[in-house]
Amino acid sequence: MDFNLRVGMSQKVEIKVELKDTAVSFGSGGVKVLATPMMITLMENAALKAVDTNLPEGYGTVGTHLDVKHLAATPIGMKAYAEAELVKIEGKKLLFNVTAYDEQEKIGEGTHTRYIIPVDAFIQRTNEKLNG
């Protein structure tokens, strides 16, 4: 099946850091700076948005692997953004380079893997876990 994707597709996702986005709120640290899990969320969201709108009806992507470094802290009130670029397509496996920045510097970098899935079948298989 042709998924209408090409290497080089990219997207950017931006937020203004609020208390709800901090390590204190996520329970991942004791300081009020952008939480690593929130930075990762931005990276995953940028990757998803880079490709999902180009997929055929009924298909989506799910994240399966992240390898990232959180390089610098971002305070409440500052903008932060993540960018994802599709760098490799292996059938249904998609590899992205991901980076994150605040208004002053690069704050994160790494790679992210997503897989193309038929959404209904994926949900059905997942829900079968409830039935033992």
2, part of any domain: no
pTM of the model: 0.94
DSSP character string of 61-95: EEEEEEEEEE-S--BTTSEEEEEEEEEEEETTEEE
> Count of domains in the chain?
1
pLDDT digit string (tens) for 21-31?
A: 999 999 999 99
- The letter for the amino acid at 76 is I
- Band (pLDDT 50/70/90 cuts) for residue 54 is very high
User: 114 a known binding residue?
Assistant: yes
Task: Please list the active-site residues.
Answer: 36, 44, 70
3, part of any domain: no
Q: Residue 33 sits in a domain of what CATH number?
A: 3.10.129.10
5, part of any domain: no
33, part of any domain: yes
38, part of any domain: yes
User: 6 a known binding residue?
Assistant: no
Residues 6+ apart with CB under 8 A from 90: none
121, part of any domain: yes
pLDDT digit string (tens) for 79-105?
A: 999 999 999 999 999 999 999 999 999
Residue 114 confidence (pLDDT): 98
105, part of any domain: yes
4, part of any domain: no
Residues 6+ apart with CB under 8 A from 130: none
Range of the domain at 97: 10-131
Residue 52 confidence (pLDDT): 94
Q: Beta-strand (E) ranges in the chain?
A: 10-16, 59-70, 79-90, 93-102, 106-118
